[in-house]
Amino acid sequence: MAKLILYSDQLIDGNRKVDNELLNLLNKKNPSIAYIPSCSDLSRKYFKPKVKYYNALGIKKTQYFDLDLEYDESKVHDILKFDAIHLSGGNTFYFLHLLKKRGFIELLQSYVNNGGILIGVSAGSILTTKTIEIAGYGDDSDENFIEIEDKSALGLVDFEFMPHWDGTIKSLNLVRSYVEHKNKVVYVCKDGDGIIVDENNVKIIGNVIKIK
């Protein structure tokens, strides 16, 4: 029942095909996006470029919602009014920690089940899957400095997602080892490419490799 847009990265020209799929999925005039960062962005250093990015797509209403230092429980239900929720990149382990701490696992699952669209970028995309274990694999893996033990995530799809594939066989072999060890299905995605999930349909955009 999920509607998801899974980016490996954003803010690059190569994402135009994925952007168009997002607009098709939104399918309305003046759509709105709630932006949830992986940790506090006090100066809005990372949020401001996203505002410009979405403005260029014709999306004028973007709102920042912090789960960390600026968390405001009174604003939580406002998030559910937005047409889409953007889960940012960053440290996947800390982001999952915040989602669990604020009760956002159940909230986001309910949001999607009621027709809301989730936009994941890098860590945000990984969080839509059943587990974030893969975030700890590879040469550029995230550090689990928060020492979170329960790595179960939103569980909206039956595959896992590996962003930022550099196109090398070495990287693919690392994922293959993970797949063989964990008995998982993983989509490996280059920056500029992505995956669109619309109900039970999975659409691949660009050079995305399925390993199972």
Which CATH number fits the domain that encloses residue 10?
Answer: 3.40.50.880
pTM of the model: 0.96
Short-list 73, 139, 141, CA closest to 102: 73
Domains in the chain, number: 1
pLDDT at position 1 is: 63
Closest CA to 16 of 57, 55, 50, 62: 57
Asked if 126 contacts 160 with a C-beta cutoff of 8 angstroms, the reply is yes
Domain coverage including residue 159:
3-211
pLDDT digits (tens, 9 = 90+) for 164-204: 999 999 999 999 999 998 899 999 999 999 999 998 899 99
> pLDDT value at position 105?
98
Please list the ranges in the chain whose pLDDT falls under 50. none
Q: Do residues 3 and 200 lie in contact, with contact meaning Cβ atoms separated by under 8 Å?
A: no
Question: CA-CA distance, 191 to 14, in Å (whole number)?
Answer: 8
What pLDDT, on the 0 to 100 scale, is given for residue 137?
86
- The reported pLDDT for the residue numbered 14 is 87
Look at the alpha carbons of 22, 26, 32, 36 in this order and tell me if their dihedral is positive or negative: negative
Helix, strand, or coil here: 94? Answer: helix
Residue 200's pLDDT is: 83
Write down the pLDDT at residue 140. Answer: 82
